[in-house]
Every structure is written in structure tokens, then in C-alpha cells.
Chain A
């Protein structure tokens, strides 16, 4: 078959744009030294694939953010599932909010010693190491099991027991499949398994693509990465949130703890993604996940849905004035492609305004003023503008596509106590096994907040950097920090582990004896020691101490 390459399997075409920047709150001030304003401390992470899983017994719900760039008629998506799934619309805002709430944050707290300040001052204390270490069909020959239009999507659930039968059906029905799919679809073709195929309904635009949720029976959440390899970019990010009873683990992937020495602390951890790429590539076959957050779901409280966030359905549907309707929607709903599509159908931007260069959103946002001007200039044309407007039907559409998905997503978080955020980057040649996620109630929480401290030298020549794990480095030029780490040639992973469904991790690779251990001297950039150097220096220091004590005793 000659299929266009623009379609995507499970995978988004382009990596996500930068994660939303969040300014982190200032740390608690303590009566020692002072703290300077921090850098915005949220690293840019590009994730090509984002999935929020929830696991309840043998029920898995997967919210999948679909990213696509290309013509609408060439959008296609194929997802293997173990059971006939229930399909639900999800929301981009779910991903925006959960990303922000759990974003790894690298904060450098600048500490000025009291004696450097004319008036003393407030600040944060350098912590001890202990303190800093916190944290349904057709006739019998058709594979079609169910077909459903949901939002802007035309979906089909197909039996996955015959490869050719399935591909023939997809081609016949106009579902596009990327070139190469037939080569990698083998593991998913089996009796009792299914595929969900998705395309856009006729006339829908790519801007209307919104996340989809699938609910199905399965003992474990799983990402069909082997299929993804057909359309993946090098070092594609795979970001997964798993809601369950305890901390989620990659069952068949390794687990990496990064060496935070490699983080660009002086530039808000902006090299974070590069560190993750390098660290996970140190694992066998590059198949390893990093836990970015593991802990309570409380941080998602009322982030997606709360009483009063949206206008009451009854009130909105009773608004006969289209401008008033628009104002209620534009200012109280998240602006999404699907929202604009629903409004465009009900209240299309008049041609006159398009000709003047107004875009749809600009027109809606300025509707009151613009329509007043228009009504004065051309009353007859204006009166016809909203003839087709049906507040009740439009409200129904908005609730189906915007409000209900957010309400449901909020219920997911409210219904689970624990959430784990895992991240990795993989290139197509590394996508040789599908990661399966399980749970281990014995593992500790993982904070997404990482605090380092930089005690500025009184003479203004650099200072001392203390990492969250307590290691200290003399740094003369923070701008050269990453450069010096590259020169030091230290590993990006602190350790690579195997996580099981109970008990502590077992170590696959321990880099403790290869990472820098701490401060020795100062030079143009910074200086840190290797363990062997540190041992020698410790011995030297101990010797000097011994001599000093002897001398004092003699003097005494």
C-alpha cells in the first residue's frame, strides 16, 4: 500500500514545545545570610509522547496527548489495546496542569554570608547534607468491532487477529497508516487483541485535535513503543504519569538516578533534557526511565475542575445574546482548538472582519466592541450574523468537549492518592520493547524540587556550590559550570537500578566512585576531586591534624 508518511501511530509528529514556565516560590528565609532572587528554575523539557495512566484493579485508563502537524485529511492514529476500549475525550489542559504541577525544578539559592553585608540580612542557611537530601460491528469477515464519532474524531475499534484484514479495512475506510507500520505491527497482531484507529471527521481541522482517553481491562499500564518507532524522532521524549495506590516503576526498563552535578544550576537547569538523554543512554540499550516525581496527588487539587470555574450549564444555554455568550466562554474556558472549532460553527467570524485581518480568537475577544461598530455601520448585515446561533446546542458541545473531560480528569486525581511521573528519551533504534509499568509500595517518594545553594564569596570571586546531595564545589564562574563538568568527564547517571514490585532497588551500575566527590581548590572555573584524590587529601589532612595535636600536647 502506498500510504502517506504524515500520519502518526500512537506517536506525535513533533515534540512538544517547551513546558510552561513556572516561577517557583522563594525558599523559606532563615536568619543566616540572605537569599538573592532565583532564576526561573524550570528546565525546558521536550516530550514527544505524553500519557496519563490510572490503574484501578484490572482497569487501565490512558489519556494520550496527540501531537500532529500536517494536512487534516492525512491525520491517522493507530493504538493497540488488549480489550475493546471505552473512548473518552480528554483535555490538553490536563497535560498543561499536570506538567506544571510535577515539573522538575532546579533552584539555585544564592547565599551571602552575613559578614559580606553591611546590614546583615535575611537569607537561607546552607543545609546539612541530611537536610538537603529530602525528598462495538459489521459482518463476520470485517475486523470492525465498534465505530464511534467522538469530538472531531472518527474512531474504529478493530480486531487485531489478522494483519492484512485490518490494513485492508483501514485503507477501504480512508484511515491512513504510516509507511513502515506493517513491518512493526507484528507483536500486536493476535487473537483477542484490538486496535483503535482514529482519523478526523470530514471538515475538521488539525487544530481540533485534542487528547483521547481509552479505558480498557489490563493488569498493567503499557506504552506500545515498538509501534511508535515508525514515526519517532531521535531522542524522543516519553513522559508518563501513573496514578495508582503507590509508586509506579518501569517493570522491564531500567531506572536511572541522575548525577545532579551535571545540571546547569547557574542557568535554571536548562540543560536538563540533555542530561536525561545522556544519563539514560548510559543504561543498557538506552532503555531506562527517570522518576521525576513520586508522591501525593494533592498538588492536583482543584487544578482542573472546581465549583464556579465554568458558568452553569443552565445559565450559559439560556444566553440569547451571542456577544454575552462569547464573553462568558472566552474569559472562563481554556482556549483550545476544539473550543474555537465549536464556537466557529455557532458564531463564525464575519467575512468583513476576516478581510480586515482579524483572526477568530481576536474577533471573539473583542466581540462587544467590534459588533457595536459593525451594527452602527451596517445594521442589516450585522443582524444576520448570529441567525444560526443556538445557545443550548453550543453549550452542549462545549460541555462535551471542554468541561466534562476536565471534570473527569479531576475525578481521576481525586480518586487516587499517589502519582508517579516518569521520563525517558528514546531513539527509534532503542524502541525495541514496550515499557510496562507496575507498582512498588516500598519505594520512597521523589520530590520534583531540587535545591542547591551557592554561597557567594565576600570578594566577589565566585563561591561555593552545594548540591542537594551535600557535595560542595568551588566555582569561580557559574557560566562555565557545564563546561567544567564536560571537562571533568564524569557520568551523567549517579546510578542505574532495577526496580521490582516490592523491596528496595538493586543496583545495575553504581557510579559512586566515578562522580566528583567535592571541593578541593579553586582555579579559573571550578575544581572538584575524584575519589582517589579525595582519599589522598583526606589522608594528608588527617596527618596534618595529627601533627597539630601532637604539637599542642607538647606545648601543653
Chain B
């Protein structure tokens, strides 16, 4: 199967190939390329600093457990370089889909808001996007699977301002997570 280069590579056609939900034609908007990676989840600690941690293709992401009850998510951070903050709605709506690479099974839908902020290397999300993965879809396993994720930066009218994709595998923090990600 096609393995996509992870960071900073976003392709308009990829979205179509994944059969994802298309945003509007970007029109005159110069669609930015967003790098996807991971980062620390926001805490109530006032000294909290958001961070963008790049990951290598297929690298494992440790799932977060901050959700309600027995649910686990991948904390996905965004980075956009060479673009000013004023190029984006802020907060920006993040939409996207995660698919199991082996068969294209839709395993996650994302629809949330994120606030972009300036750091030394560009713009980063002030808190990672929580991509809920486990429990896995009924009867399906996400363990040892590669997940292709595409995220789009949109406004309320679904105009696309940026696009990013990555692939990764998952790492569970506990046994319950393993059970839920195995589709048990």
C-alpha cells in the first residue's frame, strides 16, 4: 500500500483518494501545508507551554486518556510555517478523517476548533487535537495498524485554509486501552 511521507506533506488529491469529506473549493485562498505531529495536552498549570513534536512516518503515538471513561485518543498537534497568523481564521475549525491504511476503514472523524499561536518556527496549535480512536469500530482492531490521518483547517463555511496529513501507529498506555483498540 502507498505509504505517505508524513510531515509537511499534504496533498489535495490525497483527500480525494481517501474519500474524505471535501471542504469547499479553496478558491483564491492559498491553501497552507500543515505539518502534523504530536504534543503535550493542555493542563490547568498556568506555566503550560504548547509544543509541536514532529514524528516519523509510522511512528507510534502514545494515546491520551483524558476522555470520558473508557476512551482513548491521539493528541495531534499542527504546525504551519512561512505563513502569518492573519492568513487563518482564529480559532480555526479542524476537520478531518483517520483511516486504517490497510483497508481504508474510516476509524476516526474529527470536527473541533483549535487556536493557532506564534512560536519561533511558525504557527502551532495551542492544544493538540484529540483524535478519538478507541474504542475501535466494532469488531475491528487498530493495534499494529497504520493510521492515515488528514486534517483540514477550515472556516465556518468549510473553506479550506490549510491541509496536513500524517501516518502513525498507536501505543496504548494501559491494558484497558489495548482491549478497546483491539475492538474487543
Contacts and interface: CB of A to CB of B under 8 A. Distances in A.
A45 B145 CA distance: 42
A57 interface: yes
Contact of B73 (A81, A219, A438): A219
Chain B interface helix/strand/loop/mixed: loop
B112 A188 contact: no
Contact of B69 (A58, A217, A226, A500): A226
A219 B112 contact: yes
Nearest to A191: B66
B105 A500 contact: yes
Given A187-B176, A252-B137, A498-B138, A222 B68 contact: yes
B135 A436 contact: yes
Interface residues of A, number: 37
Contacts of B41: 192
Interface string A488-509: 0000000000111111000010
Contacts of A500: 105-106, 137
B136 A58 contact: no
Contact of A226 (B43, B70, B137): B70
A250 interface: yes
Interface string A427-463: 0000001101011000000000000000000000000
The CB with the most chain B CB atoms within 10 A, among A192, A224, A250, A439, is that of A192
A254 B69 contact: no
Nearest to B134: A252
Contacts of B69: 80, 187-188, 193, 222, 224, 226-227, 434
Chain A interface helix/strand/loop/mixed: loop
A297 to B, nearest CB: 19
Contacts of A389: none
Contacts of A501: 106, 109, 137
Interface string B91-129: 001000000000001100111110000000000000000
A106 interface: no
B71 interface: yes
Contact of B130 (A193, A219, A224, A226): A219
Contacts of A251: 135, 137-138
B66 A190 contact: yes
B132 interface: yes
A501 B131 CA distance: 14
Interface string A218-233: 1110101011000000
Contact of B67 (A82, A439, A498): A82
28 contacts: A57-B111, A58-B111, A58-B113, A80-B68, A82-B71, A187-B70, A190-B66, A191-B66, A192-B41, A192-B65, A193-B66, A219-B109, A222-B68, A226-B70, A251-B135, A251-B138, A252-B135, A252-B138, A252-B183, A433-B70, A434-B69, A438-B109, A498-B137, A498-B138, A498-B139, A501-B137, A502-B19, A508-B139
Given A192-B64, A500-B105, 18 more contacts: A58-B111, A80-B69, A187-B69, A188-B69, A190-B66, A192-B41, A192-B66, A193-B65, A217-B112, A219-B110, A219-B111, A222-B69, A251-B135, A251-B137, A252-B135, A253-B138, A439-B109, A498-B138
Interface of A: 57-58, 80-82, 187-188, 190-193, 216-220, 222, 224, 226-227, 250-254, 433-434, 436, 438-439, 498-503, 508
